[in-house]
């Protein structure tokens, strides 16, 4: 995936989102820079409150009060979404970019049949007859692997199980063949066996529809199965981004290292789990220097003074970016 001929479908440049609250202006996202190549799956991983869902909202143009995009650009096919008008955003949303949410029941209309909801989504963007739209909707329900699609077409969402509802959400998100699909924790509310089915389905369909995917999750295991590249977020910043195999074989930000060590592994017998000291700082008490400095075991005086930039780890790995001034000392640990 490293050929230069591939063009970026999405470029986020220096994006800032602030929350305007009684406690002052709080930075939820600061200096986000991301590029997304056509056809890839970018995994975004981080703990609750790190800003991963806000990133999805910003791309969709759904940042609402008290939040506001205060700087930067989101270029989708070279068109800036931050400065785009409401009408233009409505054209793009659900059509060229669409999204799957965590809790399918709260994002589906409980009073409207599943088929009708998908039909409405198609009609909102395409000038075709209702009959045509509903036959397309039925086709879509079939392609997400729902048994007896004709029956489910007329069922209201509360009649369906969690896994089925999430399939309906996926059908709705993909019915207009979007070029970019954002999945915000799509399997967190599901059981493992159903999760495996849904993950498989997303991977299969994105091949079929040639969709680029941003896959947001807190689960490192899920991210490792789904992604081509992985971005690790902490307190509103991307702290590390690299190809999947690099991020797991040579994690270079102390936070990524800590996050991986904290997961109980199926193939190790350690008695005590590693944990990261402290907890994620609140947005109103962010440290002045590196955001991770309060919890980092490699923290030096310099870390406390200045926020580090996202820089290339090593000339040999131009795609592996890390936001840490001590990254070399961690890199040495890997090679030894």
Partner 1 sequence: METTISERKNTEPILRVEHLKKYYTYGNGFLSHRKTVIKAVDDVSLSLYPGETLAIVGESGCGKSTTAKSIIRITDPTEGTITLHGKDFGKLSGKELKSARQKIKMIFQDPYSALNPRMTVRDIIAEPIDISGSYRTQAEREEKILEACDMVGLNRDYLDRYPHEFSGGQRQRIGIARAIIEKPDVILCDEPVSALDVSIQAKVINLLKELQDKLGVSYIFISHDLSVVRHVADRVMVMYLGHVVEEGSRDDIFNSPKHPYTRILLDSIPSIGKEMPEDEQQLIAGDLPSPENPPSGCCFHTRCPHCSEQCRNTAPALTEVPGQPGHRMACFC
Binding interface with partner 1 (CB under 8 A): 47-48, 161, 163-164, 191-197, 199-200, 203-204, 218-222, 224-226, 248, 258-260, 262-266, 271-276, 279-280
CA distance 231 to 223: 10
What minimum distance in Å lies between the beta carbon of 38 and partner 1?
21
Which C-beta is closer to partner 1: that of 7 or that of 159?
A: 159
Tell me the C-alpha to C-alpha distance, in Å, between residue 117 and each of 84, 173, 248: 27, 11, 40
Which C-beta is closer to partner 1: that of 97 or that of 222?
A: 222
Name, in order, each residue with C-beta under 8 angstroms of 154's C-beta and a sequence gap of 6 or more. 113, 114, 115
Which C-beta is closer to partner 1: that of 101 or that of 215?
A: 215
**First-residue to last-residue Cα distance in the chain:** 29
Which C-beta is closer to partner 1: that of 61 or that of 258?
A: 258
What minimum distance in Å lies between the beta carbon of 127 and partner 1?
36
Which C-beta is closer to partner 1: that of 204 or that of 304?
A: 204
Residue 316 DSSP class: T
Which C-beta is closer to partner 1: that of 23 or that of 306?
A: 23
Q: Which residue do the tokens 């509310």 mark?
A: 189
What minimum distance in Å lies between the beta carbon of 261 and partner 1?
8
- Residues paired with residue 21 on neighbouring β-strands, in sequence order: 24
SS (H, E, C) 51-101: CHHHHHHHHHCCCCCCEEEEEEEEEECCEECCCCCHHHHHHHECCCEEEEC
Which C-beta is closer to partner 1: that of 35 or that of 188?
A: 188
Half-sphere exposure of 209 (CA within 13 A, CB side): 25
Tell me the C-alpha to C-alpha distance, in Å, between residue 285 and each of 24, 235, 294: 11, 11, 11
Q: Which residue do the tokens 């029956």 mark?
A: 151
Which C-beta is closer to partner 1: that of 285 or that of 315?
A: 285
What minimum distance in Å lies between the beta carbon of 326 and partner 1?
19
What minimum distance in Å lies between the beta carbon of 166 and partner 1?
11
CA distance 325 to 307: 9
What minimum distance in Å lies between the beta carbon of 270 and partner 1?
8
What minimum distance in Å lies between the beta carbon of 221 and partner 1?
4
CA distance 248 to 51: 22
| Cis before 66 (ω within 30) | yes
What minimum distance in Å lies between the beta carbon of 224 and partner 1?
4
């Amino acid at each position: 995936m490293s050929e230069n001929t591939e063009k970026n479908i999405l470029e986020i440049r220096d994006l800032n989102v602030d929350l305007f609250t009684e406690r002052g202006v709080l930075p939820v996202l600061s200096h986000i820079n991301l590029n997304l190549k056509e056809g890839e799956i970018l995994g975004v991983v981080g703990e609750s409150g790190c800003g991963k869902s806000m990133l999805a909202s910003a791309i969709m143009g759904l940042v609402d009060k008290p939040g506001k995009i205060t700087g930067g650009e989101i270029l989708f096919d070279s068109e800036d979404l931050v400065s785009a008008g409401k009408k233009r955003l409505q054209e793009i949303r659900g059509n060229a970019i669409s999204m799957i949410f965590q809790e399918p029941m709260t994002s589906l209309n409980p009073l409207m049949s599943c088929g009708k909801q998908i039909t409405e989504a198609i009609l909102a963007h395409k000038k075709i007859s209702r009959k045509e739209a509903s036959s397309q909707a039925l086709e879509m329900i079939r392609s997400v692997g729902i048994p007896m699609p004709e029956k489910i077409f007329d069922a209201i969402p509360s009649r369906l199980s969690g896994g089925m509802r999430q399939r309906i959400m996926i059908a709705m998100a993909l019915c207009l063949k979007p070029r970019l699909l954002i999945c915000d924790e799509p399997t967190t509310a599901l059981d493992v066996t159903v999760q495996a089915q849904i993950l498989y389905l997303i991977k299969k369909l994105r091949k079929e529809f040639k969709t680029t995917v941003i896959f947001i999750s807190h689960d490192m295991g899920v991210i490792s199965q789904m992604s081509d590249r992985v971005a690790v977020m902490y307190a509103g910043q991307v702290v590390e981004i690299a190809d999947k195999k690099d991020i797991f074989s040579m994690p270079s930000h102390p936070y990524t290292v800590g996050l991986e060590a904290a997961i109980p592994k199926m193939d190790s017998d350690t008695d005590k789990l590693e944990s990261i000291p402290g907890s994620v700082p609140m947005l109103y008490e962010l440290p002045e220097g590196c955001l991770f400095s309060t919890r980092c075991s490699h923290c030096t005086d310099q870390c406390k003074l200045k926020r580090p930039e996202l820089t290339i780890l090593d000339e040999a790995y131009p795609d592996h970016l890390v936001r840490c001034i001590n990254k070399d000392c961690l890199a040495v640990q890997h090679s030894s």
